[in-house]
Amino acid sequence: MAAADEADRQRVESVYGAYAADPRKAAAWASGNPGNRAIREEVAARIVGLALATEGPVLDAGCGTGWWLTRLAAAGVPPQRLTGVDLLADRVAAAGRRAPGTQAHTADARALPFEDARFDLVLLFTVLSSLHDASAVRRALDEAARVTAPGGTVVIWEPRVPTLNRATRRVRERDVTAVLGPGVSSRPITLLPPLARRLGRATPRLYPALARVPPLRSHRLMEWRRPQASTSA
């Protein structure tokens, strides 16, 4: 591993270590919080359909401990179609345990260990904002496009407003279109997490209504479809 890549791995490891040691962050991000579940299910409503609409392989680049791999498998996507990569080996191991039958690899989203045009669906969920500079964001987007098959889709979910997390950077829509081109579709999504997490038992009733209020949408869901290969001679 190059020295720069090792430094990045150590930086990410340090950040997640700090998250784990902070009781407030652990409580805020708890998977059992109804608001956190609603946030993820709003995204899942879109990507499950995309995954089931194809019979090809799916990549979760930056899979963490495998939540999305597990969710897609639970929705009926065959586990053997699902692959995840993450920079931290312990998270990859956790993903393998959590989502049996899927493939999980320790790898960098900026240098994916796959051949060109392998995947029909590539997910980049809050990955770009965790990268340390604009060059790293461009490399990750280039790699996602490279491994996407003709007709396949890259889906990106990122905050659209500044956050208080100093370990992340803001990724704007123009940062994505500068690499993938003007064919990127984008829509605001996700109720502001601090608000969503406070809804408690009222989440099923209030989340859908509040998430439709434009100023309360904290993220954007971007999609890019790789053009079909030309059939002309």
Domain residue ranges of the chain, discontinuous segments joined by + = 29-225
- Confidence check: pLDDT of 22 > 60: no
Element holding 159 (H helix, E strand): strand 148-159
Q: For the chain, what's the residue count?
A: 233
Q: What mean pLDDT value characterizes the chain?
A: 89
Distance CA(85)–CA(63), nearest Å, equals: 6
In the numeric block, the tokens 């240098």 are attached to 111
pLDDT tens figures, 78-100: 999 999 999 999 999 999 999 99
Compare 19 and 92 and report the one with higher pLDDT: 92
Domain 29-225: top CATH class:
alpha beta
Tell me if 134 sits within 8 A of 175, measured CB to CB: yes
pLDDT at 125: 96
Report residue 10's pLDDT band, with 50, 70 and 90 as the boundaries: low
> Which amino acid belongs to residue 101?
G
